[in-house]
């Protein structure tokens, strides 16, 4: 970005410019190239340096979040990513015939153990990861056996799943269409859901996360599907032009389309936007699972690695929702907005509020004629409800940055729950005060400071007080006390006057003023 673009941002989106400045000044970014980091990143090793370069070439966004993972986990995930990037490149390349592609996809996991293997028949932009796969294989072989097992297992699942879908293609239709929503979910599971599973297993194996994270298959799958479906939705124009089509036929056929190519026809923009609306609806159903998954993470760098792509996904869905530009080209969120989200996505509460905010923006864009109006309203409300249930907005958090975070109910909130919580809190405090008072009195009785009275004594005292209440106030005694006080005050006043007069006379008698004296 040039100086002029930053100046324009300062006028149109000042908070985003401020976020970029804060990021540049205050954000601590791990430098994997630094010599102090070589002990875990192995950037000084030629083959590992190549792997880091492959990662940066194929995905700049993921390269940044992967590089900031703690310790050797960054290197492990880097290798995991470039292995799957190589596998994905085989699947994406429409120039590779199925006679070559299918066997290679199904056996790709075996190439991880085949020293020196490379592939030079791809024409994809990321073909370097196949042509120089021997560098990736070399680094894979140096990983701990537990990591190798996980990566090879995920590559096996992904490759076989990709092959099953690629096998449905025909010469007349080079790209197999995804028919039902179930097929769409299964395809996204193979290309992204298993990635989420693999990452969870790597997190657990590294010790950075608790062991049970490895078993969260449903939530891990949903994390992957949210990201994958966002990319599939956003990349509609590019995919159609390159002969790929991943929007399920069950969605676009509802709106009178016979093929995916018709979706980018300018004359049918309205129907295409209705179809795109349903694609967003389908992606949103994974949002709350993704939020659930993030609440389970305890390592900050792992949380950042998961949360940053997630908030980018929900922001992308909002930016592309009912946006006709996606039918004509690629639509991305602004750089300043990206940086702002990175700075904010540091804990589950703030991430849930980001999701809630963008869900409300999506809901605000829903057209009254949209066939999915009601379903979209419910989907957005579920995200809002999740955030309010787990992190109520009427509770203020203070001191979070100092490590001594505290919470308090906002007394000015109009939320009915705030009044209820305040009342319950007051009742609980009163109950506690009463219990402490009773405990204190019981202790005094036990020590003999306060003597216990017999039932007869208690009854006599009670009868005495009851009799006094019946008789009313002792007015004569009260009047006598008042008159006595008045008489006492009068006597004291008279005494003071006498003392003053006596003292004045004595003093004046000692002075003899002579008018003629000089």
Minimum mean pLDDT range among 7-11, 50-54, 203-207: 7-11
215 vs 263: CA distance, rounded Å: 39
User: pLDDT confidence of 249, banded at 50, 70, 90?
Assistant: very high
Say whether 305 is catalytic.
yes
Say whether 184 is catalytic.
no
For residue 473, report the phi and psi dihedrals to the nearest 5 degrees. Answer: -70, 140
Say whether 358 is catalytic.
no
219 vs 235: CA distance, rounded Å: 25
Tokens, residue 346? 């540091």
287-295 and 373-390 are packed helices; what angle lies between their axes, rounded to 10 degrees? 10
**With 90 as the cut, is the pLDDT of residue 491 above it?**
no
pLDDT (0 to 100) of residue 469: 67
Long-range contacts of 375-380 (CB under 8 A, 24+ apart): 375/281, 376/277, 376/280, 376/281, 376/284, 379/281, 379/284, 379/285, 379/287, 380/284
User: pLDDT confidence of 170, banded at 50, 70, 90?
Assistant: low
pLDDT (0 to 100) of residue 173: 61
75 vs 33: CA distance, rounded Å: 12
Give the domains, in start order, of the chain with CATH numbers.
183-188+207-244+274-397+415-422 (1.10.600.10)
Beta-bridge partners for 396: 408
Residue with tokens 């970014």: 29
From 252, 271, 250, 269, select the one nearest 260 (Cα to Cα). Answer: 252
Task: Please identify which of the residues 43, 80, 184, 305 carries the catalytic annotation.
Answer: 305
Say whether 394 is catalytic.
no
Is the pTM here over 0.85, yes or no?
A: no
**With 90 as the cut, is the pLDDT of residue 212 above it?**
yes
Task: Please identify which of the residues 18, 30, 64, 244 carries the catalytic annotation.
Answer: 244
**With 80 as the cut, is the pLDDT of residue 380 above it?**
yes
For residue 182, report the phi and psi dihedrals to the nearest 5 degrees. Answer: -60, -40
pLDDT (0 to 100) of residue 424: 85
**With 80 as the cut, is the pLDDT of residue 337 above it?**
yes
Task: Please identify which of the residues 184, 187, 190, 246 carries the catalytic annotation.
Answer: 187
Segment 174-195 shows an average pLDDT of 89
Task: Please identify which of the residues 75, 85, 201, 234 carries the catalytic annotation.
Answer: 234
Range 294-311 burial, b when 16+ CB lie within 10 A, else e: bebbebebbbbbbbbbbb
**Residue 375: strand, helix, or coil:** helix
**With 60 as the cut, is the pLDDT of residue 514 above it?**
no
**With 80 as the cut, is the pLDDT of residue 1 above it?**
no
């Amino acid at each position: 970005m040039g100086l002029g673009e930053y100046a324009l941002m300062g006028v149109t989106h000042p908070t985003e410019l401020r976020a970029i400045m804060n990021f540049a000044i205050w954000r601590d970014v791990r430098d994997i190239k630094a010599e102090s980091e070589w002990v875990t990143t192995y950037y000084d090793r030629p083959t590992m340096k190549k792997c880091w370069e492959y990662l940066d070439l194929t995905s700049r966004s993921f390269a940044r979040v992967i590089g900031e993972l703690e310790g050797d986990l960054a290197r492990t995930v880097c290798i995991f990513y470039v292995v799957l990037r190589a596998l994905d490149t085989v699947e994406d390349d429409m120039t590779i015939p199925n006679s070559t592609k299918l066997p290679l996809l199904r056996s790709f996991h075996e190439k991880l153990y085949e020293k020196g293997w490379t592939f030079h028949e791809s024409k994809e932009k990321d073909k370097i990861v196949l042509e120089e796969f021997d560098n990736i294989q070399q680094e894979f072989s140096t990983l701990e056996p537990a990591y190798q097992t996980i990566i090879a297992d995920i590559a096996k699942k992904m490759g076989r799943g990709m092959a099953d879908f690629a096998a449905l293609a025909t010469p007349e239709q080079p790209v197999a269409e995804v028919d039902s929503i179930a097929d769409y979910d299964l395809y996204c599971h193979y290309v992204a859901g298993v990635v989420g599973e693999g990452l969870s297993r790597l997190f657990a194996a590294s010790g950075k996360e608790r062991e049970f994270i490895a078993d969260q298959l449903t939530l891990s799958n949903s994390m992957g599907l949210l990201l994958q479906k966002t990319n599939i939705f956003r990349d509609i124009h590019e995919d159609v032009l390159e002969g790929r089509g991943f929007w399920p036929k069950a969605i676009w056929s509802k709106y009178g389309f016979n093929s995916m190519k018709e979706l980018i026809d300018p004359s049918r923009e309205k129907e295409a936007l209705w179809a795109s609306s349903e694609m967003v609806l389908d992606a949103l159903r994974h949002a709350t699972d993704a939020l659930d998954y993030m609440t389970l993470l305890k390592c900050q760098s792992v949380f950042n690695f998961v949360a940053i792509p997630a908030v980018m996904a929900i922001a992308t869905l909002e930016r592309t929702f009912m946006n006709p530009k996606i039918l004509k080209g690629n639509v991305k969120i602004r750089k300043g907005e990206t940086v702002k989200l990175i700075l904010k996505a540091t804990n589950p509460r703030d991430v849930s509020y980001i999701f809630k905010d963008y869900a409300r923006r999506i809901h605000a864009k829903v057209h009254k004629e949209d066939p999915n109006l009601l379903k979209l309203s419910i989907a957005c409300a579920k995200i809002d409800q999740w955030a309010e249930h787990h992190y109520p907005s009427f509770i203020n958090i203070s001191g979070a940055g100092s490590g001594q975070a505290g919470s308090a109910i906002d007394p000015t909130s109009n939320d009915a729950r705030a009044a209820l919580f305040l009342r319950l809190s007051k009742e609980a405090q009163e109950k506690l005060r009463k219990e402490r008072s009773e405990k204190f009195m019981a202790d005094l009785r036990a020590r003999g400071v306060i003597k216990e009275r017999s039932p007869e004594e208690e009854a006599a005292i009670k009868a005495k007080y009851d009799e006094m209440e019946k008789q009313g106030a002792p007015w004569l005694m009260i009047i006598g006390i008042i008159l006595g006080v008045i008489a006492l005050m009068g006597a004291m006043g008279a005494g003071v006057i006498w003392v003053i007069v006596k003292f004045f006379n004595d003093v004046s008698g000692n002075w003899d003023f002579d008018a003629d004296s000089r």
